Structure 1
């Protein structure tokens, strides 16, 4: 009935726009490898990224 994993056990990435770490979310389950940005706001501001 409880959670199988704690939040600290989930994979993380660093957003190239804000340089903050973000954690895996259920809605990204099918395309986690393609997720680059932590939020829609950072995705829109991607031209400011240091990539």
Structure 2
């Protein structure tokens, strides 16, 4: 099994969170997914994201 980077693990976790949220609030998860992925996409690693002090979009 190939080792996942921290960013890949975070993106995978986001995917699971979206599935759970969608069960509670159908359709509401799309906005959350878009915001989270927009937030982390520009960074090459989770540590870059944390160090940048990025805020919620």
TM-score, normalised via structure 2 length:
0.23
Higher strand share: 1
Higher helix share: 2
TM-score, normalised via structure 1 length:
0.25
